[in-house]
Amino acid sequence: MSRALHPGADAVQQKGRLAANKWLLARRGSQLSILFLFLLGPWFGVWIVTGNLNSSLVLDVLPLTDPYILLQSLVAGHVPELSAITGALIVTAFYVLVGGRVYCSWICPVNMITDAAQWLREQFKISGASSLSRKTRYWILAFTFILSIVTGSIVWEIINPVSMLHRGLIFGMGLAWIIVLGVFLLDLLVSRRAWCSHLCPVGAFYSLLGNNSLIRMRADNREACDDCMDCFMVCPEQQVIRTALKAINGAGPVITSSNCTNCGRCIDVCAKDVFHFGLRLNNKVNNDVSDSNKFSDKTVTS
């Protein structure tokens, strides 16, 4: 139970530096290689993926469309062509299966910005407590749809930092870096994980999408937990862990909250190998009270 200098120090000692960061590295690899795939075209003329995260075409055949933006377009009164609908269905099916917020931790380029802010925050020991509710993003999500209905245009795209950064890198940034810088400073100075875990409606949408996703983080080895709190320290959505890890109200070992981003950082930093990726099936403990975990999110806030 010695307090380590930083979360994950014990794991590094136990497993080695590489193994204690493998999911983080895999995630960075995923984020960067997806970005690189998009950049291959404009940089080297190799068009494997065309477009951007809002809508793209892979190898000239496979359409992929962000269901969130297409839904905004739909409520704004536009009936899209089949290509966009197909693309959105494919993307939706993928995230329903693997977990909606996999988008946030494995694909979204803003995640690298906010992770950097969080890292600096820890280095400089900035601890601005905030009263920002994690539900704010759902309200913003609702408002983006309402604004789309009222104005008949896709309003959120005017400032959406996610598409702005990604599109900016591929098509030219303009002054979009100001918005990205804004997100960075917000996360660095104002509040811990302010953007991705409190405000971003894209993440909120994808969390709803993956509400019943098959692939989940599991704490099957939770008896080994020594309460070092490392997982809690690194988790961008700290509220999701406790229920499953501590079997609150007899909860099963699966982290069922749709806001878990499946980033796998908890696996990395845990010296006791409590966590692993698995399916949401078999979420039973000895007694049959696992249903009560549905409401367990409320017990821990921000």
Partner 1 sequence: MNTQPTKGKNVANHSRRKFLLDSARAAGAASLVALGVGLYSRQAVSLPAGAIRPPGALDEKDFLGACVRCGLCVRDCPYDTLKLAKFGDSGGVATGTPYFTARDIPCEMCEDIPCVKACPTGALDHSLEDIDDARMGLAVLIDEENCLNFQGLRCDVCYRVCPVIDKAITLEMRHNVRSGKHALFIPTVHSDHCTGCGKCERSCVLETTAIRVMPFELAKGELGHHYRWGWKEKNRAGESLVAPDVEHRYNLPQGQSYDIEGEGLIMNQGKDPASSDSPFSSNPLDTLNRNSLNDGSNGSLSKQGGTRK
Rounded least distance, CB 257 to partner 1, Å: 16
Rounded least distance, CB 41 to partner 1, Å: 7
Rounded least distance, CB 18 to partner 1, Å: 37
Instruction: Give the number of other Cβ atoms within 10 Å of residue 224's Cβ.
Output: 12
Q: Which long-range contacts (CB under 8 A, 24 or more apart) does 147-155 make?
A: 148/72, 148/73, 148/75, 148/76, 149/75, 149/76, 151/76, 152/76, 152/77, 153/76, 154/69, 154/72, 154/73, 154/76, 155/72
Q: Would you count residue 238 as binding partner 1 (CB under 8 A)?
A: no
Which of positions 116-145 make contact with partner 1 (CB under 8 A)? 131-140, 142-144
**Can you tell me which of 76, 89, 225, 289 binds partner 1, judged by CB under 8 A?**
76
**Can you tell me which of 2, 172, 227, 287 binds partner 1, judged by CB under 8 A?**
172
**Can you tell me which of 27, 121, 167, 216 binds partner 1, judged by CB under 8 A?**
167
Q: Would you count residue 91 as binding partner 1 (CB under 8 A)?
A: no
Give the start-end residues of each E strand in 168-272: 215-218
Distances (CA, A) of 240 to 15, 50, 119, 277: 25, 36, 21, 15
Structure tokens at 205: 């949408």
Residue among 119 and 177 whose Cβ is closer to partner 1: 177
Residue among 83 and 292 whose Cβ is closer to partner 1: 83
CA nearest to 161, candidates 117, 129, 119? 117
Instruction: In whole angstroms, give the CA distance from residue 168 to residue 7.
Output: 34
Q: Would you count residue 56 as binding partner 1 (CB under 8 A)?
A: yes
Instruction: In whole angstroms, give the CA distance from residue 206 to residue 267.
Output: 22
Residue among 164 and 219 whose Cβ is closer to partner 1: 164
Q: Would you count residue 58 as binding partner 1 (CB under 8 A)?
A: no
**Can you tell me which of 104, 170, 231, 269 binds partner 1, judged by CB under 8 A?**
170
**Can you tell me which of 11, 20, 84, 117 binds partner 1, judged by CB under 8 A?**
84
DSSP string, 104-151: IIII-THHHHHHHHHHHHHHTT--------TTHHHHHHHHHHHHHHHH
Helix (H) or strand (E) run with residue 44 in it: helix 22-44
Q: Would you count residue 80 as binding partner 1 (CB under 8 A)?
A: yes
**Can you tell me which of 163, 256, 259, 296 binds partner 1, judged by CB under 8 A?**
163
Query: Residue type for 236, please?
Result: P
Q: Rg for the chain (alpha carbons), in Å?
A: 20
Residue among 102 and 180 whose Cβ is closer to partner 1: 180
Which of positions 281-300 make contact with partner 1 (CB under 8 A)? 298
Q: Would you count residue 181 as binding partner 1 (CB under 8 A)?
A: no
CA nearest to 56, candidates 47, 65, 67? 65
**Can you tell me which of 1, 61, 79, 281 binds partner 1, judged by CB under 8 A?**
79
* Contact mark string toward partner 1, 189..228, x via CB under 8 A: ----------x-----------------------------
Helix 201-209 vs helix 67-75: angle between axes, to the nearest 10 degrees?
100
Interacting residues toward partner 1 by CB under 8 A: 41, 47, 50-52, 54-57, 63, 65-66, 69-70, 73, 76-81, 83-84, 87, 131-140, 142-144, 146-148, 150-159, 163-164, 167-168, 170-176, 178-179, 199, 298, 301
